Amino acid sequence: MRTHPVLAATGPLTSWLLAIGLLLSPAAALAQSGGASGTAAEKPVVATGTVPDEATRAAILQRLRELYGANRVVDRIEVDAVIAPPNWSDRVLGMLGPDLRQVSGGELAIDGNSVRISGQVGNEAARQQVASAIATGAGPSYVLKNSLVGGGGSKQDLLDQTLADRIIEFKSGSATLTDGGRAILDEMAVALESVGQQQVQVIGHTDSVGSRESNIALSLQRAIAVKAYLEQRGVSADNLSVQGFGPDRPVADNDSDDGRARNRRIEFRVM
């Protein structure tokens, strides 16, 4: 008998494995639909695995039906006396949000307190958005590995590829750019010129150290500093706007130095 819950669900657009309770996998979806002839909208979402109680099972199925439609959800979930982490059911439901519908051919795996999301999304902005939503729903005690792959060919992709997952750095606790941060922005200025007259939002993010209010203010100040520098490099001010989310949209675990560093980032989103 398993010592913790396992759940799996197989979906047309998204497939997840919650090794604590839920799994969705594209291969299983195809098996259920009799092959690949059906459209993505027609393919079922197959939920399999083991959960600790009937209430958890019912809540997960209800959430899946809300996301994908009742006719597409196939229930293979079992109930057994497995041991779940504290508030596990709530955390699972928090991870099963509408952002998952942006993922195709993927898998969300939750094994203990380890979470992995894989699959295809439209661009880097969607990649970060999906991972952030899952991390927020999971809470700080879960470690997320983001294996999503963004699409190519759009203006958003150009900015994402130029930034290339690099962190635009500031002096500690301030909105003053470092030399390395300015060097990256020099490259971004060239990419933004290629975007043309499309509106681009500069979004600041922080880690969770300190108060939420001060972090939101700092993230906005940093976004403003980036906008100002890009304007100095010739990018039209009319094409740039700013937003600061502080610690609200993490892409990594704030419990480690590496995770906090990844969360202290600037994002460029084509509107």
pLDDT, tens digit, for every residue of 37-46? Answer: 334 444 566 6
What are φ and ψ of residue 61, in 5° steps? -60, -40
pTM of the model as a whole: 0.49
Two structure tokens written together for 37 = 């002839």
The two tokens of residue 258 are 């590496």
pLDDT in tens, 122-140: 777 888 888 899 999 999 8
The pLDDT of residue 46 is 67
φ and ψ of 135, to 5 deg? -60, -40
Give me the percent of the chain exceeding a pLDDT of 70: 79
Give the chain's length: 271
Low pLDDT (below 70) residues in the chain: 1-46, 104-106, 112, 119, 150-153
**Predicted local confidence at residue 32, as pLDDT:** 31
- Tokens 């979470």 appear where? 115
Residue 198: alpha-carbon gap to chain centroid: 24
Largest CA distance in the chain: 64
| Per-residue pLDDT at 171 | 92
| Alpha-carbon span 250 to 131, nearest angstrom | 8
- The angle that helices 88-95 and 54-68 make with each other, rounded to 10 degrees, is 10
